[in-house]
Chains A and B, each alone.
Chain A
Amino acid sequence: MTKLTQLTLTQAREGLAMGEFTSVELTEAYLKAMEEARALNAYVLETPDIALDMAKESDRRIASGDTGHLEGIPLGIKDMFATEGVRTTACSKILENFVPEYESSVTANLWRDGAVMLGKLNNDEFAMGSSNETSAFGPVVSPWRRDGDTTPIVPGGSSGGSAAAVAAFLCAGATGTDTGGSIRQPAAFTGTVGIKPTYGRCSRWGIVAFASSLDQAGPFARTVNDAALLLRSMAGYDPKDSTSVNRPVPDYEEAVGASIKGKKIGIPREYRVEGMADEIDTLWSDGAAWLKDAGAEIVDISLPHTHYALPAYYIVAPAEASSNLARYDGVRYGLRVPGRDVVEMYENTRAAGFGPEVRRRIMIGTYVLSAGYYDAYYLRAQKVRSLIKSDFDYVFSQGVDAVLTPATPSPAFGIGEKVKADPVEMYLNDVFTVTVNMAGLPGISVPAGLSADGLPLGLQLIGRPFEEETLFSLAEVIEEAAGRFPVEKLWWRR
């Protein structure tokens, strides 16, 4: 059965359509793989009964010829997406018993198209983290290890469970959310493909809110084509999210394999940061060379305010988080810890319910929004955000179709290696990805090579608003040239 789980989503879809196997068989193969991989801690909830029911329904629809785009395809869902009747925690103690009475729009779109839910995937608490180590369920272990070394490695974060599950063949694809790099960084760390679409492309309704002006949903997959198939189903207008954009969803699969001849690719000089490993620099040059060989034109560009994106992000995101997380008050849902009066009840509930990173960010957010500091911090950061966006607007107006950068400044690190450091050191992981959220642009991370010690490395392509198709075309060129990077040894299997 191992073979079924190792198919790409695209291959699985063909196999199902041709009747080579059933959705129940495919789903059972994944459920078995999940059971054998509990040491990775990728899933925080397995839903085998729901999965098999959905798979049976899919097989019935396949038999009757009434099939959706993802008919019978088993997926993992990040625990940030509300799933009706299925516990949804954002991997926080404060939501440990929360069972939504509603379904997020993105997951509803996936089920509409015939996909099957295998379970809920681990993430950093409230998606705040870059290594999946802040989860109330404990860290996720990457299926990757350094050569000749059994040190457990982080899968990145916050969508660490999604990235690990896709890389370890524990689902055919997964959902993620990305506020500062939470799809693209873990994708790079695990040799998977992850895309954060343009802000407004996917509905945020029913996704646990972190920083509303930055949050976007997107898929994880083992190939560029698989990611294109998933995004097509996830994206779309939703009247329930006022920032969701009403424009048709293209058939992204058509863009995969399209010619990139004449596309102008910008290489931003500000991304050549101090202390960046040589291997990252080499990977970046290789990426540019592959695109050039396929007919693209490579140009040097400048995005002068890049350096200010991360500090501005660490004002905007905590400020919005502080407001969004005010709803966890022990009254309407979630944990309640008693107190002498209502204020003490709030304070005790929130002290017990939030982990250290979430508490830190709420406090920073509360501080920068407090009386007398709003202009100096939040307003200034939003102005810097305008400057960051104008940097991109300018290069796009000069004919640049996409920007190529490394996805991360380093390969994945060991579990626990960065926990003791200053929080800012962990934040630096997102230095190449936050600019994209700050400007609301689409960004894709595609595997492009291995580090000297055998861990995956990714390249990021940043596109114009709503031009995800260009990103899929370019990413496929990199995938063709670099090859794919599947995990070879399934060492975690019991």
Chain B
Amino acid sequence: MSVDQATVRRVAHLARIAVREDELDHLSHELNAILEFVEQLADLDVSGVDPLTSVVPVDLPMREDVVTDGHYPDKVLANAPEAEGGFFTVPKVVE
């Protein structure tokens, strides 16, 4: 299957990356080259094979359901591009 310019535009939007119209052509070539390369996996019969979920057989650890961290809003906000009154700020999201 081949990725056309409309698909590149759609994927870029899903990935929340602005792309210019004049980039669509070479992006579709690059993505197609990679997809063509991974396409060879279709040659393999994987029926009855379980997908790998963990490379090392470990059980996910459980811990007490208690607060173990926090109470330092200044540190949390220290790298925010914009913060105000102890909060992150974003452009208006509701009309």
Contacts and interface: CB of A to CB of B under 8 A. Distances in A.
B46 interface: yes
Quick one: which of B13, B16, B75, B76 has the most chain A CB within 10 A? B16
Contacts of A315: 38, 41
A314 B34 contact: yes
Contacts of B90: 331, 342, 345
B17 A387 contact: no
Interface in A308-327: 308, 310-312, 314-315, 322, 326
A70 B31 CA distance: 46
Contacts of B92: 341-342
Contacts of B61: 239, 242
Contact of A348 (B18, B80, B82): B18
Interface string B55-75: 110101101000000001001
Contacts of A463: none
Contacts of B91: 338-342, 345
B33 A383 contact: no
B61 to A, nearest CB: 6
Given A363-B27, A424-B34, A312 B55 contact: no
The contact size tier of chain B is 35 or more
Contact of A245 (B11, B15, B27, B56): B56
B15 A322 contact: yes
B52 A382 contact: yes
B85 interface: no
Interface in A225-265: 239, 242-243, 245
Interface string B20-33: 00000001001101
Interface in A327-351: 329-336, 338-348, 350-351
B41 A439 contact: no
Contacts of B60: 242
A383 B16 contact: no
Interface of A: 97-101, 198-200, 213, 239, 242-243, 245, 305, 307-308, 310-312, 314-315, 322, 326, 329-336, 338-348, 350-351, 354, 359-360, 362-367, 370, 377, 379-387, 389, 422-424, 427, 439-441, 465
Interface of B: 3, 7-8, 11-19, 27, 30-31, 33-35, 37-42, 44, 46, 49-56, 58, 60-61, 63, 72, 75-76, 78-82, 88, 90-93
Given A245-B56, A332-B79, 13 more contacts: A101-B78, A199-B56, A308-B41, A329-B16, A333-B80, A343-B16, A348-B18, A351-B17, A351-B18, A360-B31, A381-B41, A383-B52, A386-B49
